[in-house]
Amino acid sequence: MISSLIFLVSLVFAKESPILFESGNNQVSLIELYSSEGCSSCPPADRWVAGLKNHPKLWKDFVPLNFHVDYWNRLGWVDRFSNKQFTNRQRRYASQWGSSRVYTPAFVKDGREWRTRSLINLGNGNPGSLKVQNLGDNQVKVTFVPRNHNEDNLLINVALLGNGLSTKVKYGENSGETLKHEFVVLNWQRSNLEKKGSQFETTLKVPENKTKGVQSFSLAFWISKKGDQTPIQSVGGPFKIDDGS
């Protein structure tokens, strides 16, 4: 009888999907850089973000994103990582701050303009736990348990990040330079979260990669509200894309 019970318990645990990332209740800060290969003042900011790849607090206290905007493309060099969607995200932030001006390089931490680049005292309270489980075949299950159980209308954001990227710039302000990038947002998607009791859940597909020259990938997930893109909680880490091989 005891052996049968052990067998049944083992079956239950065997069905649990392995956890990819888990935040804990304390806020993990979302650090966003808005950059462009066509901007001569951006390479130092890109190098600073690239230097975070060996930081001991990476993925534990902060998640970095490198969004490339498209409004520099008209000045002689088309940034292959740029996307109008990323430009629009930066403009929405500016609107939230009561400004019509966007610029590069620009840093945002937890939805606020950030100029200090200090990685001390990150986060802001304990919004709740965000967990991502690997279902296989590039699918994941996302679960968010908010500290405030009255939360509603939440979205999950997921970004596929490319690492070890390099570009030889032939024209524009960075002509002749070889630019290297980490944590570049290659694909960003949003999805509704379904409220189930005291938590929110959804299952989604990892965004596809169509960019060449990526040495490795990471995933970033963060919670926001509909109509307000300010990050509530975030989590992320390295990820190997299942290409079927």
Q: Which of residues 51 and 14 earns the better pLDDT score?
A: 51
- Checking if the pLDDT of 11 tops 50, the result is no
pLDDT band at 7 (very low <50, low <70, confident <90, very high): very low
CA 106, CA 92: separation in Å to the nearest integer?
A: 14
List the structure tokens of 189: 């998607």
Kindly report the number of other CB atoms within 10 A of residue 18's CB atom: 8
pLDDT of residue 244: 58
The pTM assigned to this predicted structure is 0.92
- For 188-212, what is each residue's pLDDT tens digit? 999 999 999 999 999 999 999 999 9
Residue 16 has pLDDT above 90, yes or no: no
Tens digits of residue pLDDT in 53-87: 999 999 999 999 999 999 999 999 999 999 999 99
CA 225/CA 219 separation, integer angstroms: 20
In this structure, are residues 157 and 222 in contact, taking their beta carbons and an 8 Å threshold?
yes
Q: How confident is the model at residue 15 (pLDDT cuts 50, 70, 90)?
A: low
pLDDT tens for 78-120 read 999 999 999 999 999 999 999 989 999 999 999 999 999 999 8
Q: How high is the pLDDT of residue 2?
A: 47
Average of per-residue pLDDT across 121-144: 94
Helices (H), 37-190: 43-50, 84-96
- What is the tens place of the pLDDT at every residue in 140-188? 999 999 998 788 999 999 999 999 999 999 999 999 999 999 999 999 9
- Is residue 161 within 8 Å of 65, Cβ to Cβ? yes
Pick from 233, 142, 150, 146: which is nearest to 192 by CA?
A: 142
Q: Would you state the pLDDT for residue 150? A: 80
pLDDT of residue 121: 84
When the pLDDT of each residue in the chain is averaged and rounded to a whole number, the result is 92
**Residues 123-147, mean pLDDT to the nearest whole number:** 95
